[in-house]
Amino acid sequence: MGLFDFFKKKQETPESQEALNKGLEKTKEGFFAKITKAVVGKSTIDDDVLDNLEEVLVTSDVGVTTTLKIVDRIQKRVAEDKYVTTDDLNRLLKDEIQGLLAENNSNDFENFEYGNRKPYVIMVVGVNGVGKTTTIGKLAHQLKEAGNKVVLGAADTFRAAAVDQIQLWGDRVGVRVVAQPMGSDPASVAFDTVKSAVANGDDVAIIDTAGRLHNKVGLMNELTKIKNVMQKVIPDAPHEILLVLDASTGQNAIEQATQFTQATDVNALALTKLDGTAKGGVVIGISDQFKIPVKYIGVGEKIGDLQLFNKKDFVDSLFQ
């Protein structure tokens, strides 16, 4: 079974759908309570309702730029249809959010051609506290469950607990970990990891990196050095630069995405802790603003609660 087949199978299970629905509960409760308040006493979608809707979306962390796009689209549809009731607002909103996401970043993860490269190298970036290490552990577990040989590289050598955490996850899910003492050169760890992955015939190498959001020049230099040494072993590595963001930080997650996308070639996003926040709208804003695929979302504490992000499933669940 290939990687996509595994994730597709997981995504279609009732358990994963239930976890998604449960993970978005706080966002849904806050979102629809605000929409209900926005249309109280109104029978049609007029300028007041649209102004209120704009406020609802912004305060749900969809972001100003994306909010204005959505409201503008709804305004045009209301003008075309002449008479649209407030009862239609949820349907229109769902349509436009789904349409916006569909336009943004090509296809969902199902078109990810994982099998073309071996080992497939994933470099994981993000600030401390966003759930980066947990995401790495859960991803390693799911890849292993799919029948892949996985190795983890503990290249966050600046934080005392980082190497220990990666090694704990390696023990927990039964995958190898390449590590050096704290304070070692991160690039050296990354080099050792990919070299080991090639020698061992591993399918996937996942490299952790330091979670410090220091100045952009320092961050860029560090990540560039890690990439360069890996390319001495695998010329096109890393194949994926996965930025992990904490959805519960709302607009701060967007700022982090801005910093990291300027510092390195991020081509995949993971949004964690959706189950613990009412700010799930940030998924919509980030997807729209950065045009980078959201590949994974964290919807719970369980090891299987890192899910493949599917735009349609996400919006369907949000409006369920």
Annotated binding residues for GTP? 126-133, 208-212, 272-275
Distance CA 172, CA 127 (A): 23
Distance CA 29, CA 26 (A): 5
Please tell me whether residue 242 adopts helix, strand or coil conformation. Answer: strand
Q: What angle do CA 106, 100, 37 make, to 5 degrees?
A: 150
- Upper half-sphere CA count for residue 128 (Cβ side, 13 Å): 13
* Helix 14-23 with 311-318: angle, nearest 10 deg: 60
As a whole number of Å, the end-to-end CA separation of the chain is 32
* Helix 282-290 with 89-104: angle, nearest 10 deg: 40
Q: Which residues participate in the annotated binding site?
A: 126-133, 208-212, 272-275
Close Cβ partners of 309 (under 8 Å, ≥ 6 residues apart): 108, 109, 271, 283, 293, 294, 295, 296, 297
186 and 156 Cβ atoms separated by less than 8 Å: yes
Q: What is the DSSP letter of 319?
A: T
